[in-house]
Amino acid sequence: MSQEVLSEYNSLRKLSDMRFPSEWFPEARQMQRKIYLHVGPTNSGKTYRAIQRLQSAESGIYCGPLRLLAHEIYDKMNQQGIQCNLLTGEERREVSPTAPLTSSTVEMANLAKPLEVAVLDEIQMISDPHRGWAWTQALLGLKAKEIHLCGEQSAVPLIKKLCESLGEQVIVNEYERLTPVALSSSSLNGNWKNVRKGDCVVAFSRNSIFDIKKKIEKETGLQCAVAYGGLPPESRSQQAKIFNDPTSPVKVLVASDAVGMGLNLNIKRVVFSTVQKFDGREFRYMHIPQLKQIAGRAGRFGTTYASGEVTTFFNKDLAYVDKCLESPIIPLELAGLQPTVDIVEVFALQMPNETYSSVLQKFEDLASLNGNYFLCNFKDQKRIAEVIESIKLPLRDRYQFVTAPVSTRNEETLNAVQEMAKIHSNNKVLELPELVQLPNSQMVDVGSLSYLETAHKKIMLYMWLR
Residue 283 bridge partners (DSSP): 278
Pairing of strands 84-87, 92-93: antiparallel
Q: Indicate the helix (H) or strand (E) that contains 116.
A: strand 115-120
Classified as helix, coil or strand, 174 is: strand
Pairing of strands 283-285, 276-278: antiparallel
How crowded is residue 259: how many other Cβ atoms within 10 Å of its Cβ? 24
Task: Identify the CA nearest to 414 among candidates 464, 451, 376, 457.
Answer: 457
Instruction: List domains and CATH numbers for the chain.
Output: 19-174 (3.40.50.300), 181-326 (3.40.50.300), 335-465 (1.20.272.40)
Output the pLDDT for position 405. 85
Residue 372 to residue 200: CA distance in whole angstroms: 38
Task: Identify the CA nearest to 81 among candidates 97, 101, 61, 63.
Answer: 101
Output the pLDDT for position 445. 56
Output the pLDDT for position 443. 52
Residue 229 to residue 166: CA distance in whole angstroms: 36
Output the pLDDT for position 448. 75
Residue 455 to residue 432: CA distance in whole angstroms: 11
Task: Identify the CA nearest to 66 among candidates 232, 200, 254.
Answer: 232
Angle between helices 67-79 and 46-55 (to 10 degrees): 50
Q: Given CA atoms 25, 170, 132, 421 in this order, what sign does their dihedral have?
A: negative
* Backbone phi and psi for residue 95, each to the nearest 5 degrees, phi listed first: -70, -40
Classified as helix, coil or strand, 227 is: strand
* Backbone phi and psi for residue 183, each to the nearest 5 degrees, phi listed first: -80, 130
Task: Identify the CA nearest to 54 among candidates 103, 5, 108.
Answer: 103
Output the pLDDT for position 442. 57
Q: Given CA atoms 193, 216, 205, 253 in this order, what sign does their dihedral have?
A: negative
Provide the residue-wise pLDDT of the chain in tens; the chain has 466 residues. 566 767 777 888 998 999 999 999 999 999 999 999 999 988 888 999 999 999 999 999 999 998 889 999 999 999 999 999 999 988 899 999 999 999 999 999 999 999 999 999 999 999 999 999 999 999 999 999 999 999 999 999 999 999 999 999 999 999 998 889 999 999 999 999 999 999 999 999 989 999 999 999 999 999 999 999 888 888 888 999 999 999 999 999 999 988 887 778 999 999 999 999 987 778 899 999 999 999 999 998 767 788 899 999 999 999 999 999 999 999 999 999 999 999 999 999 999 889 999 999 999 999 999 889 999 978 899 999 999 999 999 999 999 999 998 888 889 999 999 999 999 999 999 888 888 876 655 555 556 778 888 888 888 889 888 7
Classified as helix, coil or strand, 218 is: helix
CA 131 vs. chain centroid, Å, equals 7
Output the pLDDT for position 125. 96
Q: What does R_g of the chain's alpha carbons equal in angstroms? A: 23
